[in-house]
């Protein structure tokens, strides 16, 4: 089991949402220094961006991109390391495109962080752009990089799949929103299954006293899991009641048919003909004709 449940969750969660639209490569080693990126995504068809599908998460992935997800606020050194990884991937891609004699668009880097300070944004020259949501910042053009500040994102369906990767109340609220989505909503069930998996990993780490934070998150996830179990129990009870009513109705219909068997026998029909006509088991028709 990974030492960092939230990192493992992010590497399972993002491929689940992107896999239908392109090539997903989690935990990719780059070059000889074994630098690993959380996710390298290469779209093979248009990625949906409507609020009813992937929303802003889809908008990030309109072209090949690296995605680095941080559980805690990203640091200046981590941003530099991410840019280094981007350059390594771009160099790799340049060599591949030269070999195949094709031109490719350079990969883009997205750094997803729960919070970020104005000072840090200024330090790296990161600015908002027109036609992009609040909380999205871009480094100077030559860096081909952007930063997603989850704590600043609008709280709507369009940002839901990104807010899942936030921290504290932001993340808890997003998970609650997923739970309240219609049952047939895209990705709802698969994401909740990953959330329950995160709960299991966090509880294990908690029992092993390897983590001291996330207590509020664990309690919230436990309640969501209990609600799911209660929902399953209610559905099971309702199915049992419906099945009981249906069985009673069918039994009543069967008894009504059996009452006509003596009359049909008097009309000269054989038990085989009666069984076929009334759609009843032959043994039941024979027994009824003998009464």
The tens digit of pLDDT for each residue in 81-110 reads 999 999 888 888 776 655 544 456 789 999
Burial of residue 206 (number of CB atoms within 10 Å: 0-12, 13-18, 19+) = middle
Average pLDDT over residues 220-224: 78
* pLDDT greater than 80 at residue 233: no
Q: Please give the full DSSP string across 159-193, using - where no structure is assigned.
A: GHHHHTTS-THHHHHHHHHHHTS-TTSTTHHHHHH
Instruction: Give the three-class secondary structure for 136.
Output: strand
Lowest mean pLDDT among 147-151, 245-249, 286-290: 245-249
Per-residue model confidence as pLDDT tens digits over 191-219: 988 888 888 887 777 766 656 667 777 77
Q: What span, in angstroms and rounded, lies between the C-alpha atoms of 42 and 65?
A: 7
**Which pLDDT band, with edges at 50, 70 and 90, does 57 fall under?**
very high
Instruction: Judge whether residue 72 has pLDDT over 70.
Output: yes
Show Cβ contacts of residue 8 under 8 Å, excluding neighbours closer than 6 positions.
Answer: 1, 2, 201
Q: Quote the pLDDT of residue 103.
A: 56
Nearest residue to 61 (alpha-carbon basis) of 125, 127, 4, 17 = 17
User: What is the average pLDDT across 23-46?
Assistant: 80
pTM of the model: 0.71
Q: How far apart are CA 16 and CA 187, in angstroms?
A: 8
pLDDT at residue 242, as a whole number: 66
Residue 5 pLDDT class (50, 70, 90 cuts): confident
Convert the pLDDT of each residue in 104-159 to its tens digit.
678 999 999 999 999 999 999 999 999 999 999 999 999 999 999 999 999 999 99
What pLDDT score does 229 carry? 67
What confidence category does residue 161 fall into, taking pLDDT thresholds of 50, 70 and 90? very high
The set of residues, in sequence order, having a beta carbon less than 8 Å from that of 257 and lying 6+ positions away, is 278, 279, 280
CA-based max dimension of the chain: 99
Q: Give the tens place of pLDDT for each residue, 26-37.
A: 877 765 556 788
| Residue 281: HSE in the Cβ half-sphere, 13 Å Cα cutoff | 6
Q: pLDDT of 172-185, one tens digit each?
A: 999 999 989 998 89
pLDDT at 2 > cutoff 60: no
pLDDT number for residue 150: 97
Which position has the higher pLDDT, 109 or 4?
109
| % the chain with pLDDT above 90 | 45
């Amino acid at each position: 089991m990974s030492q960092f449940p939230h990192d493992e969750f992010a590497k399972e969660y993002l491929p689940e949402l992107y896999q239908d639209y392109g090539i997903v490569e989690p935990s990719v080693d780059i070059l000889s220094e074994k630098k690993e990126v959380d996710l390298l995504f290469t779209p093979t068809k248009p990625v949906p961006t409507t609020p009813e599908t992937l929303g802003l998460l889809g908008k990030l992935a309109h072209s090949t991109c690296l995605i680095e997800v941080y559980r805690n606020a990203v640091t200046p050194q981590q941003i530099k390391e991410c840019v280094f990884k981007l350059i390594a991937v771009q160099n790799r891609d340049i060599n591949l495109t030269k070999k195949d004699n094709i031109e490719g668009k350079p990969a883009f880097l997205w750094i997803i962080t729960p919070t970020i300070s104005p000072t840090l944004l200024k330090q790296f020259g990161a600015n908002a752009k027109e036609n992009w949501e609040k909380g999205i910042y871009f480094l100077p053009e030559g860096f081909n990089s952007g930063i997603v500040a989850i704590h600043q994102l609008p709280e709507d369906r369009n940002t839901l799949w990104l807010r899942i990767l936030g921290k504290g109340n932001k993340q808890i609220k997003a998970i609650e929103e997923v739970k309240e989505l219609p049952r047939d909503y895209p990705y709802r069930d698969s994401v909740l299954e990953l959330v329950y998996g995160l709960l299991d990993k966090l509880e294990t780490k908690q029992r092993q006293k390897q983590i001291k934070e996330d207590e509020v998150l664990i309690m919230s996830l436990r309640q969501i899991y209990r609600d799911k179990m209660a929902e399953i129990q209610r559905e099971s009870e309702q199915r049992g009641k419906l099945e009981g009513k249906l069985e009673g109705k069918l039994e009543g219909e069967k008894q009504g048919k059996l009452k006509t068997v003596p009359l049909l026998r008097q009309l000269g029909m054989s038990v085989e003909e009666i069984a076929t006509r009334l759609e009843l088991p032959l043994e039941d028709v024979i027994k009824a004709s003998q009464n």
